[in-house]
A and B are shown apart, each in its own frame.
Chain A
Amino acid sequence: MSTVFIAFQANEDTRPIIEAIAEDNPHARLNEAPAMVKIDAEGRLTVRRSSIEERLGRDFDLQELHVNLISLSGHIDETDDEFTLSWNA
Chain B
Amino acid sequence: MDMHAPKKKLGLKEKYQVMTRGLDWEPSYQKKEDIYPYATYEGIKIHDWDKWEDPFRLTMDAYWKYQAEKERKLYAIIDAYAQSNGHLNVTDARYLNTVKLFLTGVSPLEYMAHRGFAHVGRQFPGAGPRVACLMQSLDEIRHAQTQIHALSNYNKHYNGLHEFRHMHDRVWYLSVPKSFFDDAITAGPFEFMIAIGFSFEYVLTNLLFVPFVSGAAYNGDMGTMTFGFSAQSDEARHMTLGLEVIKFILEQDPDNLPIVQRWIDKWTWRGYRVLTLVAMMMDYMLPKRTMSWKEAWEVYFEENGGALFKDLARYGIKIPKCAETIALEKDHLSHQAWGTFYNYGAAAAFHTWVPEKDEMDWLAAKYPDSFDKYYRPRLEYWREQAAQGKRFYNKTLPMLCQTCQIPMLFTEPGDPTKICYREVDYKGGKYHFCSDHCKEIFEHEPEKYVQSWLPVHQIYQGNCFPEGTDPTAEGFDPLAAVLQYYHLEFGRDNLDFEGSEDQKNFETWRGQATKNV
By a beta-carbon cutoff of 8 Å, the part of chain A in contact with chain B is: 2-5, 7, 9, 33-36, 63-64, 66-80, 87-89
Contact = CB atoms under 8 A, between A and B. Distances in A.
B304 A35 contact: no
Contact of A34 (B206, B215, B239, B311): B215
Nearest to A34: B218
Given A63-B62, A80-B11, A35 B233 contact: no
A63 B217 CA distance: 26
Interface range, B side:
35 or more
Overall SS of chain B's interface: helix
A79 B66 contact: no
Given A70-B235, A72-B236, A78-B55, A63 B311 contact: no
Nearest to B210: A71
A69 B55 contact: no
B123 interface: no
A82 B314 CA distance: 26
Contact of B236 (A4, A33, A69, A77): A69
Contacts, number: 97
Interface of B: 11-13, 55-58, 62, 66, 69-70, 73, 206, 209-211, 213-215, 217-218, 225, 229, 232-237, 239-240, 243, 290-291, 303-304, 306-308, 310-311, 313-314
A54 to B, nearest CB: 21
Contact of A3 (B211, B303, B314): B303
A5 B13 CA distance: 24
15 contacts: A3-B303, A35-B229, A63-B66, A66-B236, A67-B69, A67-B233, A70-B209, A71-B210, A71-B235, A72-B236, A73-B239, A74-B307, A75-B311, A88-B311, A88-B314
Of the listed residues A67, A73, A79, A87, the one surrounded by the most CB atoms of chain B closer than 10 A to its CB is: A73
Contacts of B308: 73
Contact of A77 (B55, B70, B233, B314): B55
A15 to B, nearest CB: 16
Given A34-B217, A78-B55, A87-B307, 17 more contacts: A3-B304, A34-B215, A34-B218, A35-B214, A35-B218, A63-B62, A63-B66, A66-B233, A69-B236, A71-B210, A71-B239, A73-B307, A76-B56, A78-B57, A79-B13, A80-B12, A89-B313
